[in-house]
């Protein structure tokens, strides 16, 4: 029989239940990009220990070296491999070339090395626009070659530069894909990704877009939380407080227009330069770079996703692990000889004070999983007291 004591306890439990934040999605995996080292970089066999110190369990290899892959045998680090852009046309026309690449970079190591994804090229259309028609055949050949080898758990895709792939990104709801001239690529590619349960790969640099669009406030690009740091999408009524979310939702909108909104998204590159030799790049400094990276990690850890992608992106790879030696060059869309993007200095020493530990551990320790458990526990006690 119920009495006042029972109702008091019930109200007390409901009060405490209301104080527990509601659960969010599982945060994405946060990884780093490792590209061709400079002469001052630490040797490859030290990479697993350095990643452990940074609390990172995922590494994207921009130009995979079998020696580097070998260092991750029997570790918990997942590897994301990239086929160099110059090999893409050959892979498109010659299936045996894809097998040769796989026999060098995958077969000797997998599954002892946890290779999860292969990107056929990186922003390939930026470097080889005249060869756009070879991209999808190369992806298909690599996928089929993996199947011929009995490997079915490595997904295949290709990465795009945001500014090349997306037209009219503001507001995000107006975004659409830009097709390469004379080539029907995006639709067939998205169909391939859906059919093979693969992800859409995109390089997202708020720094680069901030420099291209003078109307973008610096605070929004840096995840800074100020009352007037926002932009509204008047079509959807969504309010955006950071540029990263706006760029991701532009991709989501473009995929929705194309009819493929359910394909997962992986951010293959993002970051903020800590230095530049260009006199007009005053925002490329270590203070802003650390603010951006800390804001990014905090945002990803929250598990709240973006306004249009509640589950958030699947993975995010920060560009890059080490600074390049001054005067070096790279084929990536992010870098030039004038900018330093490394999370670590070229010699491997620490540049920032950032805890990159992502997803699972912080999810369990800081929020969503515990919130759900507490809700279940309190609800169970409530039912028990009302039953007695």
Tens-level pLDDT at each residue, the chain (388 residues):
445 554 344 334 334 433 444 445 678 899 999 987 666 778 999 999 999 999 999 999 998 999 999 999 999 999 999 999 999 999 999 999 999 999 999 999 999 999 999 999 999 999 999 999 999 999 999 999 999 999 999 999 999 999 999 998 899 999 999 999 889 999 999 999 999 999 999 999 999 999 998 889 999 999 998 878 888 899 999 999 999 999 999 999 999 999 999 999 999 999 999 999 888 999 999 999 999 999 999 999 999 999 999 999 999 999 999 998 544 444 445 544 479 999 999 999 999 999 988 644 444 444 444 444 444 454 455 445 445 5
Give the model's pLDDT for residue 258. 96
CA angle (230, 280, 240) in 5-degree steps: 10
Cβ burial of 328 (10 Å; 0-12, 13-18, 19+) is middle
Token couple for 33: 């990009």
Give the model's pLDDT for residue 377. 53
* Predicted model pTM: 0.85
CA distances from 363 to 68, 161, 302, 310, 377 (A): 30, 30, 8, 16, 18
Give the C-alpha separation, 357 to 301, whole Å: 9
Q: Give the number of other CB atoms < 10 A from CB of residue 337.
A: 12
- What sign for the dihedral angle of Cα 218, 261, 294, 126? negative
- Of 103, 38, 122, give the one whose Cα is nearest residue 322: 38
CA distances from 27 to 182, 204, 355 (A): 39, 18, 15
CA 86 to chain CA mean position, Å: 24
In the DSSP assignment, the letter for residue 129 is G
Give the C-alpha separation, 157 to 49, whole Å: 29
Give the model's pLDDT for residue 16. 44
Q: Give the number of other CB atoms < 10 A from CB of residue 229.
A: 17
Give the model's pLDDT for residue 143. 98
Cβ burial of 353 (10 Å; 0-12, 13-18, 19+) is exposed
Give 251-314 as a DSSP string.
HHHHHHHHT-TTS-EEEEEE---SEES-TT-TT-SHHHHHHHHHHHHHHHHHT---SS-TT--S
Give the model's pLDDT for residue 362. 45
Token couple for 253: 């909108």
Contact 292, 206 (CB under 8 A): yes
Three-class DSSP labels, 63-117? CCCHHHHHCCCCCCCEEEEEECHHHHHHHHHCHHHHHHHHHHHCCCCCCCCEEEE
Give the model's pLDDT for residue 229. 84
Cβ burial of 259 (10 Å; 0-12, 13-18, 19+) is exposed
Token couple for 381: 């006690």
């Amino acid at each position: 029989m119920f009495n006042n004591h029972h109702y008091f306890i019930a109200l007390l439990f409901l009060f405490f239940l209301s104080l527990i934040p509601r659960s969010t999605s599982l945060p994405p995996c946060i990884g780093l990009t490792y590209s061709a080292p400079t002469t001052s970089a630490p040797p490859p066999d030290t990479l697993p220990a350095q990643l452990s110190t940074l609390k990172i369990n995922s590494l994207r290899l921009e130009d995979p070296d079998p020696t580097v892959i070998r260092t991750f045998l029997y570790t918990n680090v997942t590897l994301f491999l990239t086929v160099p852009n110059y090999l893409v046309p050959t892979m498109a026309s010659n299936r045996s070339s894809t097998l040769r690449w796989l026999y060098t970079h995958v077969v000797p190591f997998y599954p002892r090395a946890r290779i999860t994804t292969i990107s056929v090229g990186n922003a390939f259309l930026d470097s080889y626009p005249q060869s756009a028609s070879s991209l999808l055949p190369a992806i298909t050949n690599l996928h089929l070659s993996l199947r011929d080898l009995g490997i079915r758990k490595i997904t295949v895709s290709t990465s795009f530069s945001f500014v090349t792939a997306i037209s009219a990104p503001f507001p995000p709801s107006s975004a659409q894909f830009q097709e390469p001239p004379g080539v029907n690529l995006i639709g067939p590619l998205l169909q391939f990704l859906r059919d093979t349960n693969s992800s859409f790969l995109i390089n997202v640099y708020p720094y680069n877009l901030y420099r291209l669009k003078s109307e973008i406030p610096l605070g929004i690009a840096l995840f800074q939380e100020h009352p007037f740091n926002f932009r509204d999408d008047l079509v959807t009524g969504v309010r955006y407080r950071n540029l990263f979310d706006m760029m991701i939702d532009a991709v989501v909108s473009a995929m929705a227009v194309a009819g493929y909104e359910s394909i997962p998204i992986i951010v293959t590159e993002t970051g903020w330069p800590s230095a530049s030799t260009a006199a007009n790049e005053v925002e490329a400094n270590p203070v802003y770079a650390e603010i951006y990276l800390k804001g990014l990690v905090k945002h990803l850890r929250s598990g709240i996703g973006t306004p249009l992608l509640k589950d958030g992106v699947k993975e995010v790879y920060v560009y890059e692990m080490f600074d390049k030696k001054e005067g070096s060059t790279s084929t990536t869309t992010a870098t030039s000889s004038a900018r330093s993007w490394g999370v670590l200095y070229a010699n491997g020493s620490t540049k920032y004070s950032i805890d990159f530990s992502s997803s699972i551990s912080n999810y369990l320790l800081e929020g969503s999983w515990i919130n759900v458990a507490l809700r279940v526990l309190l609800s169970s006690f409530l039912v028990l007291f009302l039953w007695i």
